[in-house]
């Protein structure tokens, strides 16, 4: 049995995770979602803290390892 960690993200954080997965920069995410760059940075920081990731690449690795993506 695989020990799966449950992560709880807001809907906006889930949106941002999808764009991070696609390789978007914070600036590209802000432009796409019509939100400020500062808001994107706040959400990315929150996501990284919730997962104990050290950076965006590590974040995607952690989420994939824990079967966050379908």
- Model pTM score: 0.90
Three-state SS letters, the chain: CCCCCCCCCCHHHHHHHHHHHCCCCHHHHHHHHCCCHHHHHHHHHHHHHHHCCCCHHHHHHHHHHCCCCC
Is 43 inside a domain boundary? yes
pLDDT, tens only, 5-15: 789 999 999 99
Please report which confidence band the pLDDT of residue 70 belongs to, taking 50, 70 and 90 as the band edges. confident
CATH number at residue 36: 1.10.10.10
Share of the chain above pLDDT 70, in %: 94
In-domain check, residue 48: yes
3 in a domain, yes or no? no
């Amino acid at each position: 049995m695989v020990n799966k960690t449950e992560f709880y993200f807001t809907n906006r954080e889930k949106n941002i995770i999808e764009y991070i997965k696609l390789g978007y920069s914070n600036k590209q995410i802000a432009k796409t979602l019509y939100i400020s760059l500062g808001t994107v940075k706040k959400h990315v920081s929150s996501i990284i803290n919730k997962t104990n990731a050290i950076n965006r690449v590590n974040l995607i690795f952690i989420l994939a390892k824990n079967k966050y993506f379908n």
